[in-house]
Amino acid sequence: MQQHLTRIEQANLIAGHAVSYATAYLDGRHNAQQLGDNADRLFLDLLVVETPETSTFLIPVQLLVITMMRTAKCARDLSQWPSREDRWQSVIASLVELVTHESRHLTKDRA
């Protein structure tokens, strides 16, 4: 028997992927190109699962994904990157924390 995920479960899964990809970049396991590629895929996934039920939960995830995209773009411009790297990585880390918190809260509320 095949079970289908609800939209909110899909949104939570995408949130987990976003946190995983962002953390891999912050830990040095992924480079800027991988970060950008992952963010582009996640952005498309987010468009598919956005519904009235998921829209509020997805706002922090969207912010994280957009920040991942912007960070990858800045990292490609090496002339400006050293002065911006710490700031963008701090923003990603803060958004990872926010998305993780919101995801746990969502899971707790649905239990």
| Per-residue pLDDT tens digits of the chain, which is 111 residues long | 457 889 899 999 999 999 999 999 999 999 999 999 999 999 999 999 988 888 899 999 999 999 999 999 888 876 666 777 888 999 999 999 999 999 998 877 776
Residue 1 maps to a domain: no
- DSSP designation for 30: S
Domain holding 59, by residue range, is: 7-109
- The total of other beta-carbon atoms located within 10 Å of residue 23's CB is 15
Residue 79 maps to a domain: yes
Distances (CA, A) of 109 to 57, 58, 80: 12, 16, 43
Work out how many domains the chain is built from and give that number.
1
Please give the model's pTM, rounded to 2 decimal places.
Answer: 0.90
Burial of 37 (0-12, 13-18, 19+ CB in 10 A): middle
Residue 2 maps to a domain: no
Residue 31 maps to a domain: yes
Q: Is the dihedral of CA 25, 100, 102, 38 positive or negative?
A: positive
